Amino acid sequence: MSATLLTAYPELLLAGTTVATDDLPVADFSDTPMWLSFVKAMFLFLYLLISVVIVIWFERRVIGRMQQRPGPNRFGPIGILQTAADGAKLFLKEDVTPKAADKLMFILAPLLVASLAFVSFAIIPLGGDVQMFGHTTPLQLTDTPVAVLLVLAVAGVGAYGFVLAGWSSGSTYPLLGGLRSTAQVISYEIAMGLALVAVFLYAGSMSTSQIVAKQTETFFWGIPMWYVIPLFFSFVVYVITMVGETNRLPFDLAEGEGELGGGFHTEYSSMKFGMFFFGEYINMFTVSGLATTLFLGGWHAPWPISLIGDGMFDQGWWGLLWFTLKMWGFIFFYVWLRGSLPRVRYDQFMHLGWKILIPLSLAWVIAVIMIRSAQEGFFGAGVLPLIITLGLIGVFVVLGIMLWDRYAQRRDAEREARMEVPEEVDPFADGFPVPPLPGQKLVEPKRGLEQAAPVPVTSTRASTDTTDSEESRG
């Protein structure tokens, strides 16, 4: 690693010292023949396949412990082969296609979801340069100058799988589930993209290998400056959006059993349903791997392990271990959420995305642009422009909090006014009886009864005549 990458973070923050993107090490594929790329692709496929098998067992065991039950424990040691048994069951189940379904799209939708789930992982670096069959190659399938945008593009195309699955089923409730899932994915991709913009501004690149290399700059005492530190708000937004985009609890609203009966894959069976299930777990690893790459230093060893033996545990195949451990930390977070939180309402979820996350992310991106401009010297040389910029951002944050507090107080007051219960109520004021609410008093029920339903004189006379005739007969 070049000495320029070891710039101290306080100097970087105050003096505006930066590292040119061209000086950053980029994944070098010059010694990677085509056949080796196919080998790495197969390795990546097996890596994800084994990870999915393990995570399904892991999720059921962990949630079982959280709910005070054992989880799968019959087939294989501590139930480890239960996932294989479930996969075999899906292969052997009858494959049913609804009569009203569009058969081509009905088959294409699960293939689209499952295949695109693998594409995004191709640009994520799992480690540094390693030796494979006599060649030195990065532990990464490929890299492009806009690699992170490829992930967002693939996720956008993957939304077609959901809407096609719901539409091609020829049924109402899968169609509603497909529309809800598509709206959910598209909405939260906007906030996710805005969270990633801040990373691009700090790294000066969209290449995943360059973003990982930029995070090797040190804080102090050799602590690496991972982007989770200066971009903590972006990290929080990304974690929320990655749960929403993968349709996982508490945001699995496309599968709301109370109102949809299963979501867009209601009419699917056998391995077609299994491919949706498989794609969901692959997407979990994709967004978790991307979070590891963009915010947690990628495949580099955590501090202080990175300092042992002059970085001997931060080279070669060791990177695969650190990357896997970081990624599985997010996977455990997924499982923890599923075992802890109930499903939210759809309107609450969309309100969170469109009215809270997206506006706050836009404001945060503007703040990051101003900070980076001050660091680059666009507002003048020295420390003073950066301090003034941070002060102005702090003032705007305080004003925003005060305005939001006033808005919340006014909203609560209006809500209480609408819900205010009068002390006295006339049950016949609208012409029909209305029972009083708790704490209410009735206003002279007799007078109210006479005003609401006066008794005609003729009917009174008629009743009197009838009574007299009965008495005379008696």
- Tens of pLDDT, residue by residue over 348-400, are 888 888 888 899 999 899 888 888 888 777 777 777 877 888 888 888 888 88
Domain assignment present for residue 8? The answer is no
Q: Would you state the pLDDT for residue 141?
A: 87
Q: How far is CA 437 from the centre of its chain?
A: 42
By the 10 Å C-beta count (0-12 exposed, 13-18 middle, 19+ buried), 338 is classed as middle
Q: Looking at the structure, tell me whether residues 337 and 437 fall in a common domain.
A: no
What pLDDT digit, counting tens, does each position of 91-137 carry?
888 888 888 888 888 888 888 888 888 888 888 998 888 888 888 88
Q: Looking at the structure, tell me whether residues 390 and 455 fall in a common domain.
A: no
Q: Looking at the structure, tell me whether residues 59 and 181 fall in a common domain.
A: yes
Domain assignment present for residue 4? The answer is no
DSSP SS3 for 73: coil
Q: Looking at the structure, tell me whether residues 433 and 352 fall in a common domain.
A: no
What pLDDT digit, counting tens, does each position of 399-413 carry?
888 888 888 888 888
Q: Looking at the structure, tell me whether residues 313 and 391 fall in a common domain.
A: no
The continuous run of DSSP H or E covering 130 comes out as strand 129-132
Q: Looking at the structure, tell me whether residues 322 and 409 fall in a common domain.
A: no
Region 249-276 average pLDDT: 78
Reported pTM: 0.78
Within 10 A of 94 (CB to CB), how many other CB atoms are there? 6
Q: Would you state the pLDDT for residue 202?
A: 87
By residue range, what is the domain housing residue 361? 23-376
Domain assignment present for residue 9? The answer is no
Q: Looking at the structure, tell me whether residues 150 and 276 fall in a common domain.
A: yes
Q: Looking at the structure, tell me whether residues 309 and 392 fall in a common domain.
A: no
Q: Looking at the structure, tell me whether residues 298 and 444 fall in a common domain.
A: no
pLDDT band at 467 (very low <50, low <70, confident <90, very high): very low
pLDDT band at 329 (very low <50, low <70, confident <90, very high): very high
Q: Looking at the structure, tell me whether residues 55 and 73 fall in a common domain.
A: yes
Instruction: Enter the DSSP assignment of 421.
Output: P
Q: Looking at the structure, tell me whether residues 129 and 60 fall in a common domain.
A: yes
Domain assignment present for residue 17? The answer is no
Domain assignment present for residue 472? The answer is no
Q: Looking at the structure, tell me whether residues 271 and 360 fall in a common domain.
A: yes
Domain assignment present for residue 6? The answer is no
Domain assignment present for residue 299? The answer is yes
* Residue 457 predicted with pLDDT over 60: no
What pLDDT digit, counting tens, does each position of 206-250 carry?
888 889 888 888 776 767 888 888 889 999 999 999 888 888 888
Tell me the residue type at 76: G
Domain assignment present for residue 2? The answer is no
Q: How many domains does the chain have?
A: 3
Do the Cβ atoms of 177 and 166 come closer than 8 Å? yes
